[in-house]
Amino acid sequence: MESRRFFPAVVIGGGVTGFFVALPILGDVLRCALCVGVMLGSLLSMKLWFDAHRAEILSSRDAAVLGACSGAVSGAVAWVLSVPIRLVFGPSLGDFFMERQFLPTFIKYNIRGLYTDDWIAVLMSLPLEVVLYAVMGALGGFLAIQYVFPSHREAE
């Protein structure tokens, strides 16, 4: 299995998802709702790939790899786009979420930590985002081949 074959679909699907996940408030909702944004990005990447390769059949493992690659791209794109937002608006966005009464306290502090303007924390978040998004993307790819594209699933 060559994961390079997924490259165009992964870059487009992961890039689009990364853009939306990087946006303040909308991205926070997509991240906090069980990483649904990243899993939808895996689904988008898989849809794009199947549109270009209509007769292909994927194993669950291949689907998870496609999703993981899409998630990793989403994490990297989201990180690159969010760095200027975090450095310029980070403290005010953190304060915005701290004032929301409907959010549980632990979520408030996690989101405030996300919007830190500390350079070391920002740099350390890149590998963490890429790995976590890849894991959630792999789950999204696995679920997509099972429930959304079962006709393209290899019999195992």
Domain ranges of the chain: 7-148
CA dihedral over 97, 99, 102, 103, signed as positive or negative: positive
Please check whether residue 61 is in contact with residue 6, taking contact to mean a CB–CB distance below 8 angstroms. Answer: no
Across 39-47, average pLDDT = 95
Across 129-138, average pLDDT = 94
Distance in angstroms (rounded) separating the CA atoms of residues 14 and 49: 12
Provide the pLDDT confidence category of residue 24 given band limits of 50, 70 and 90.
confident
The answer to whether residue 100 scores a pLDDT higher than 80 is yes
Tokens of 111: 């989101």
